[in-house]
C-alpha cells in the first residue's frame, strides 16, 4: 500500500484531522517527525492516507469556499 503525506503540521492539528477522516472511515497514520519544536507549538507530525483516498481526504480537509456576494 502506498501512503501519501497530506500535511506536515503540529501533532495536535494532525490528530484533529485524523479524527475528521476517521469519521468518514478513511484510514490514516501519523508519523512523528521528532520532538523538535514546530514554530513553538510542540512536536511536528505528518498525516498520511493511502493513495486511493488522497483526493477524498483533501476535499474533506480543505477550507470551505465562501460565496463572494456574501462577503460584500
Domain coordinates in residue numbering, the chain: 3-61
Q: Which residues of 20-48 are buried (b: 16+ CB within 10 A; e: fewer)?
A: ebeeeebebeeeeeeeeebeeeeebbbbb
Task: Report the Cα 18 to chain-centroid distance in Å.
Answer: 7
User: What are the pLDDT digits (tens) for 27-52?
Assistant: 999 998 876 554 556 688 999 999 99
Q: CA-to-CA distance for 51 and 39, rounded, in angstroms? A: 29
- Domain 3-61, CATH: 3.30.70
Average pLDDT, the chain: 85
Cell 485524523: give the residue: 18
Task: Please choose, from the candidates 30, 29, 24, 31, the residue with its C-alpha nearest in 3D space to the C-alpha of residue 56.
Answer: 24
pTM of the predicted protein model: 0.77
Query: How does residue 10 score in pLDDT terms, banded at 50, 70 and 90?
Result: confident
Taking residues 9-16, report their average pLDDT.
91
Amino acid at each position: 500500500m502506498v501512503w501519501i503525506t497530506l500535511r506536515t503540521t503540529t501533532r495536535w492539528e494532525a490528530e484533529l484531522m485524523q479524527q475528521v477522516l476517521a469519521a468518514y472511515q478513511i484510514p490514516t497514520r501519523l508519523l512523528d517527525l521528532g520532538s523538535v519544536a514546530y514554530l513553538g507549538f510542540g512536536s511536528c507530525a505528518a498525516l498520511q492516507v493511502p493513495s486511493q483516498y488522497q483526493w477524498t481526504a483533501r476535499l474533506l480537509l480543505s477550507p470551505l469556499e465562501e460565496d463572494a456576494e456574501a462577503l460584500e
